[in-house]
Structure 1
Amino acid sequence: MLSTNNGINAWLRYAPLPAKTAALFPRYSHIVALSESEKSPIYTAGKELQEGLKKILLQDVDITNTLAGPGQLSATAILVGTFEVCPWDTTAGLQNGPDIPPLKEDGFWLGTQEDNNGTARVLIVGQNERGALYGAFEFLTLLAQNKPCPRSYATSPSAPIRWVNQWDNIDGTIERGYAGPSIFFKDGAVVDDLTRVAQYARLMASVRLNGIIVNNVNSHCNLLNATNLKGLGRIADVMRPWGVRIGVALYFDTPIELGGLSTSDPLDPDVVAFWNGISAQLYQQVPDMLGYLIKANSEGQPGPLTYGRTLADGANLFARALKPHGDGIVMYRAFVYNHHLDESNWKNDRANAAVEFFGDLDNVFEDNVIIQIKYGPIDFQVREPPSPLFAHLRRTPVIIEFQVCQEYLGQQSHLVYLPPLWKTILDFDLRIDGQPSRVRDIVSGERFHWNRSGYAAVVNVGNDTTWLGSHLAMSNLYAYGRYCWDPCSDAVSVVQDWTRLTFGSHPTVIDTVTQLSMESWPAYENYSGNLGIQTLCDIVKTCHYGPSPAAMDGNGWGQWTRADAHAIGMDRTTATGSGNAGQYPPEVAAVFENLETVPDDLLLWFHHVPYTHQLKSGKTVIQHFYDAHYEGAQRVQTFPVRWEALRGLVDEDRFQHTLFRLSYQASHALVWRDSICTFYHAKCGIRDERNRVGNHPWRVKAADMELEGYEVVPVIPFEAAFGGHAIVTQSNQASGTATWVVTFPAGVYNIAVNYYDHLGGQSHYELFLGSGPDDRTQRLVGSWAGDLGEHLLHDFSDQRDGHSATRVTFKGVKVEAGDVLTIVGTPDGSELAPLNYVSFLPEGIVD
């Protein structure tokens, strides 16, 4: 029987190997962790090795931190230490380190040495203490997968900066958090119990992440009050043994709001003195602080532009404050743009903002300033080209910013495995100066010979035991670490390793999780927004979750589609549009500028074309929209069915947890499909060649049923409801009843009910079927509650819309001739038991 697993150990659960397999490994005599400090990552490595051996091989192995002398390293020992402290003598088999090539910072060498009897000791040697810890994790993760320890294996990171950005607020909430409240903050202060923070540092170290910004980029000045300064010191103390350094995001107007100054002008002497003083206080608490993350003059945030200064003036203020204290750096986000753009001006383009603001500042930043650039020019969309700013900075190093938390990609309620998306960016060749310039080689520092550059990702773990709100979503956190270390990693191999470590080595489990993961991003792109049109969600409401294509236009945010009755897409050409294509180097710009050469998957990113424009596939744009949305939604209908094959192969808790989310995704994909197809069909009036859009022969509108205590209301936006209307109870004090005499032939159906689960309450529903609503032969088919927020750990909307639209399905329901369907909805609070439609689906019909 499989043991219960709540996900707290993620991929570090160290499940025991089968007894016959474990017996093939040596009986390790002891672990030598060459450090006298219990706070050292080397000591941590020794403890992790001890714990791992106990769980995986059921071996109890002692730890020592010294070698008594020559000959004291037994043939079955495990030695872990840095290159400098290892005993370079023939006893250890490491004389002059003949097998160890040069290692970069944080790199490690892992190998074995056999004695005359063929018994092999394990040697783990780090370039530094972090590297030694990473080597210990490598040994254990290989062991947990029943993979042999290599005879000689050396590896170094692609980039020195491999960091996480938390978006935790000091009140305990998390911006873009989908897994419960913060593990760092509560009620304006650092939490007392930092157990989960230490566990998080362990997960980070296991995938070789070495830094974290612990608070939201939309920061608050009270982060820097006396109590929280001490709290930050406590956070640093519990993460340091895992080789993780901390930094903080700063609020630009803190000198005014916390310091009582009249200005936050970065050139004002009092402001300079204020930040010098704050930096000194921070370093007293966190002597190894990695630096500051700054978001300024974006989305209403104050910044140097507020005071008539340049962005470089702002960055350099903080950079100079850091310099007296060591190697701290300023990560200055290039996410600076005007969110009150005039849409009527076709030259306006938010995608141009990063280059417009930062492209001419390359020579004016202090040498400890790094520009943090989102991977695309807009904002973590389902498909973007790489940011052109990567091609404009030569002297100023950069960090590429990814987002693990899936803000625009299903928010952990939809399975979307992200490495295939990341690879489209990392593998892209920008051809700077006509030379090979892949994005991965720019951010590694190789292209321009930077010694500090790399990666950051928004990773909003919460206090739920799943960390991200979904067990499957954790593959993205694991993969992020793997890709920071080696951006050439294979997406399939990465998810297979993660699956073995997380769920086990059964071939069906590995194959199923791998297939679902690799199909997930293409499917999501298909049903959410394709051809480079961006994720067609509601950007006006802050949730950025469900479909609302109309919300992309008619506002100042600049994530426009410019869709009208005849054409769609942004004209970003230099010839007639915003000129964004011209921000790329000439070879790339020429490809994007030309309708004949621009890739179809970025067509609408760069060109405004008629709906009848023919793609390279031969389809028109609008027919591709229809087909892709149906194909994407169809694909995810198979996800919960295929997951069912893992019943009994995955522990019941995680099996049911994942089945619920995959079933929800399958239902919400249909909401996406119908919303987008209905909207653009209405917009352009061009029919679907396959006659699917608007044609749903198995559906019954709730508005067409006989209603008692219910009333019909319009849904806004109209495309978020089949028929544009829903029904709601007439008050929140009494139930409503909707009945309908079934006209479908007798048979066995899957009955799907589409309803709205929004903020404001948890309505309850009952579905009956039988000869009449007052007849005792009516039987209860099923009941449910509008409580998705409790299961998915985030709420969607306070309206009946594409965010809150969902469905529940009852499978294998026998329907007799003359049956009457009855739904009783009981409202709760402001949620008035809203219903949209019911589908009677014969086996094999998706709807």
Structure 2
Amino acid sequence: MRLRLVHALCALICLFAAPAFAEDGYDLWLRYKPVASADAVPRAVVTQSDSPTVRAAVSELQKGLSDLSGQTVSLAGNVSAPSVVLTRNAAPDAALGNEGFAIRKGTENGQPVTRISANSDIGLLYGAFAYLRQIQTGSITDTTDAPKVKLRLLNHWDNLDGTVERGYAGWSLWDWWRLPDLKDPRYVDYARANASIGINGTVLNNVNAKAASLTAPYLDKAAALADTFRPYGIRVYLSARFSAPIELGGLTTADPLDPQVRAWWKAKADEIYTKIPDFGGFLVKANSEGQPGPQDYGRTQEDGANMLAEALGDRGVVMWRAFVYKAEVADDRHKQAWNEFKPHDGKFAPNVLVQVKNGAIDFQPREPFHPLFGAMPKTPLMMEFQITKEYLGFATHLAYLGQYFEEALDADTFQNGQKGWTVARVVEGENHKLSGIAGVANIGTDRNWSGSDFDQANWYAFGRLAWNPQGSAGDIAAEWAKMTFTTDARFVKPVVDMMMTSRETVADYMTPLGLHHLMDTGHHYGPGPWVDNLERPDWNPVYYHKADTNGIGFDRTRTGSNALSQYDPKAQAAWADPRKMDERYLLWFHHLSWDYKTKSGRPLWDELMLTYDKGAKDAAALQQTWAAMKPYVDAERYQAIASTLGIQAREAKWWRDASVAYFQSKSGRPLPAGVAAPEKTLEYYKSLKFPYAPGHH
């Protein structure tokens, strides 16, 4: 009777009251707070197998089920109480593959049992996390699930000095100075969080790599992390500096066709595998933004990638980034990756994936899908998303990227002219042995991991969509909100609505109607549409918007750069005619007169100004929505989020005012009715400097 009263009290607390203790966000979506259905939570975990991974699964189940039910959940050798049973399949189930799992409810020895089965220990771990997620979200059901993508990786742009390029959550998690001797317990929690969403690999160092990362001392440090992550199914990868044979090996060249260079890389790979037997492979940024690469020796990207692939053999993979552009600007940057990689389709080694950003410019608030996704059917293409919000307000603006990721994945490439070849299908690699998806991590030493609580949702959404690129961003947002805060519908619905419209809001006040690359220079913080003095033309915002007294926009049709031609003709049709297209991409593909009549019937000038204005107002309105959530959130996280939403509202107005002032200086036109004049002069906005903005090194 007393136990039932305790359970009832837990349910009342969960349903009707704010948490009794303030939280700092450290537990992420693995909070395991008491649920209303505590009586239905198993009281024992049963398994007949043992391994570091099974022990991790058992430990997670014991912790999770105990916390969710308010009772101690024990490890048992057989079913004598309501139990969850972990079972390796005696005969492999082909539908599950190596990482999938099945969850089935039933009875055994007269007791209710939930059986989690898999072909492998890592499948059992993934199943354990999935079962805990079901309990947390109140959606317990029989399930069979397996990942659609083989390699699901975080790319850490972490430097050896502890800084994080484009990181807004503090310092690097990796304490290189004290590794390998000191292993921070936080590394285990990092692994738990990633395993809970199916991430199975991590690239430890920045793509702008230092050769020192491949030296023996740093390989020992990487090996210590690999040992920590291994039970959670996470393999370690390293970004490789292409010129390492010169910097470390004393060679006079890094030419990928030179026999000495090839031998050096083979020996280096052998050295790595003696320290890290399950080393995943190399990520490479070559001949881009000053990084060394095969083109320094008159070779192709294919030559460089295949040389490293040969060194790894069947032990690992090479992820060769397609983000390349030449030192001189001969053409629209939108076209450069296609020009360099399309001719080499089908010529890469079997263990090479070409890693392609979601769009052809650079993680802008909105981009059409990268044309390479429809152009290289003979090559496995690995998606690269940016979880850290380099161009979306850093860690202080609410911008749920699940919706952004989904938008890119759902786009139809019409590969080989066939309808239904979405980016998701290309990334899933149904015609290839390899498939992959990478996310540039937003994780740091901040107590809440990501700089702000809502940015945790972007890490979560990336993992869930990496597991299943055809998943629903809305469903994932609801899942995250329930696990991170509360299952109360009075909280979940308005918060999910906030999340699902948030990226659109940011795009409206930063880059409306298809404008792009409007941020200030270097740090990428705040508006800078006026910047025109940088070394490369395509580093300057004026190169992209081309605003003058006559009009605005980048012409990528036949009358301009003709970047549109790199898409399949059926994909081109979505953007070719400005009168018929989704106007959110309008100025990405077209240069138009200020008098051009938009679908609303308003001239382009008015539509642009009203969109800027709407974005700023919508950002301010987020504060009111969040204020109504106060009864459902602990005080600490409520206030932290309220503070960041205040910053966002202020900075959205800054983006709006500065952009309106600048474009009005170009158009010479009056503001439409209802749009207030900027608060300060254009000269004031131009004068603002931020030499110490975070994430810029």
**What range describes the TM-score normalised by the shorter chain of this pair?**
over 0.9
Q: Which amino acid aligns with 1:505?
A: T
1:11 alignment partner, SS class: coil
Q: Which amino acid aligns with 1:251?
A: R
Question: TM-score, normalising length from structure 1?
Answer: 0.76
Partner of residue 683, structure 2:
718
Alignment of 1:418-437 (within 5 A): 418-436=401-419, 437=421
Q: Which amino acid aligns with 2:31?
A: R
Q: Take 2:145 and 2:30, find their aligned partners in 1: how far apart are those partners?
A: 21
Q: Take 2:655 and 2:180, find their aligned partners in 1: how far apart are those partners?
A: 39
Q: Which of 385, 398, 409 is the aligned partner of 1:415?
A: 398
Q: Take 1:617 and 1:154, find their aligned partners in 2: how far apart are those partners?
A: 47
Partner of residue 490, structure 1:
472
Please say if residues 681 and 693 of structure 1, whose CA atoms lie closer than 8 Å, have aligned partners that are also in contact: no
Partner of residue 263, structure 1:
253
Task: Report whether the alignment pairs 1:53 with 2:53.
Answer: no
CA-atom RMSD in angstroms: 2.3
In the alignment of these two chains, the number of paired residues is 674
Q: Take 1:297 and 1:101, find their aligned partners in 2: how far apart are those partners?
A: 42
Q: Take 2:48 and 2:615, find their aligned partners in 1: how far apart are those partners?
A: 53
Q: Take 2:180 and 2:350, find their aligned partners in 1: how far apart are those partners?
A: 32
2:117 alignment partner, SS class: strand
Please say if residues 56 and 125 of structure 2, whose CA atoms lie closer than 8 Å, have aligned partners that are also in contact: yes
Partner of residue 309, structure 2:
319
Alignment of 1:220-619 (within 5 A): 220-323=210-313, 326-338=314-326, 340-341=328-329, 348-436=331-419, 437-446=421-430, 449-538=431-520, 541-551=521-531, 555-557=536-538, 560-573=544-557, 575-619=558-602
1:477 alignment partner, SS class: helix
Task: Report whether the alignment pairs 1:35 with 2:49.
Answer: yes
Task: Report whether the alignment pairs 1:111 with 2:104.
Answer: yes
Pairwise CA distance, 1:609: 1.1
Pairwise CA distance, 1:208: 0.7
Please say if residues 579 and 598 of structure 2, whose CA atoms lie closer than 8 Å, have aligned partners that are also in contact: no
Tell me which of the two structures has the higher relative contact order, counting C-alpha pairs closer than 8 angstroms and 6 or more residues apart: 2
Q: Take 1:657 and 1:552, find their aligned partners in 2: how far apart are those partners?
A: 37
Rg larger in structure: 1
Alignment of 1:82-121 (within 5 A): 82-84=88-90, 102-115=95-108, 119-121=111-113
Q: Take 2:408 and 2:160, find their aligned partners in 1: how far apart are those partners?
A: 33
Q: Which has the larger share of strand? A: 1
Pairwise CA distance, 1:225: 1.6
Partner of residue 15, structure 2:
none
Q: Which of 74, 82, 91 is the aligned partner of 1:62?
A: 74
Please say if residues 41 and 69 of structure 2, whose CA atoms lie closer than 8 Å, have aligned partners that are also in contact: no
Pairwise CA distance, 1:252: 0.8
Q: Which amino acid aligns with 1:246?
A: V
Q: Take 1:506 and 1:361, find their aligned partners in 2: how far apart are those partners?
A: 53
Please say if residues 42 and 81 of structure 1, whose CA atoms lie closer than 8 Å, have aligned partners that are also in contact: no
Please say if residues 106 and 126 of structure 1, whose CA atoms lie closer than 8 Å, have aligned partners that are also in contact: yes
Q: Which of 679, 682, 686 is the aligned partner of 2:665?
A: 682
Q: Take 1:132 and 1:10, find their aligned partners in 2: how far apart are those partners?
A: 22
Shift of the 225–26 alpha-carbon distance from structure 1 to 2, 3 Å rule, reads closer
Please say if residues 166 and 695 of structure 2, whose CA atoms lie closer than 8 Å, have aligned partners that are also in contact: no
Pairwise CA distance, 1:339: 5.1
2:85 alignment partner, SS class: strand
Please say if residues 42 and 133 of structure 1, whose CA atoms lie closer than 8 Å, have aligned partners that are also in contact: yes
Q: Which of 122, 125, 144 is the aligned partner of 1:154?
A: 144
Q: Which amino acid aligns with 2:318?
A: V
Shift of the 234–599 alpha-carbon distance from structure 1 to 2, 3 Å rule, reads same
Partner of residue 125, structure 2:
133
Partner of residue 38, structure 2:
22
Pairwise CA distance, 1:639: 1.5
Q: Take 1:202 and 1:679, find their aligned partners in 2: how far apart are those partners?
A: 47
Q: Encode CA deviations 1:355-381: one digit per residue, 9 max, x unaligned.
A: 111000113211101000000011001
Partner of residue 646, structure 2:
663
Pairwise CA distance, 1:114: 2.3
Shift of the 691–135 alpha-carbon distance from structure 1 to 2, 3 Å rule, reads closer
Please say if residues 374 and 416 of structure 2, whose CA atoms lie closer than 8 Å, have aligned partners that are also in contact: no
1:157 alignment partner, SS class: coil
Percent identical residues: 35
Q: Encode CA deviations 1:729-761: one digit per residue, 9 max, x unaligned.
A: xxxxxxxxxxxxxxxxxxxxxxxxxxx79557x
Q: Take 1:563 and 1:238, find their aligned partners in 2: how far apart are those partners?
A: 53
Q: Take 1:795 and 1:358, find their aligned partners in 2: how far apart are those partners?
A: 30
Q: Which amino acid aligns with 1:589?
A: Q
Q: Take 1:464 and 1:248, find their aligned partners in 2: how far apart are those partners?
A: 24
Partner of residue 822, structure 1:
none
Pairwise CA distance, 1:648: 4.0
Name stretches of at least 5 consecutive residues in structure 2 with no aligned partner. Answer: 1-18
Q: Take 2:308 and 2:94, find their aligned partners in 1: how far apart are those partners?
A: 38
Pairwise CA distance, 1:133: 0.6
2:356 alignment partner, SS class: strand
Shift of the 61–313 alpha-carbon distance from structure 1 to 2, 3 Å rule, reads same
Alignment of 1:206-221 (within 5 A): 206-221=196-211
Q: Which has the larger share of helix? A: 2
1:293 alignment partner, SS class: strand
Q: Take 1:26 and 1:591, find their aligned partners in 2: how far apart are those partners?
A: 50
Please, which moves more after superposition, 194-203 or 456-465? 194-203
Q: Take 1:692 and 1:177, find their aligned partners in 2: how far apart are those partners?
A: 35
Please say if residues 74 and 121 of structure 1, whose CA atoms lie closer than 8 Å, have aligned partners that are also in contact: no
Q: Which amino acid aligns with 1:32?
A: V
Q: Which amino acid aligns with 1:230?
A: D
Please say if residues 202 and 234 of structure 2, whose CA atoms lie closer than 8 Å, have aligned partners that are also in contact: yes
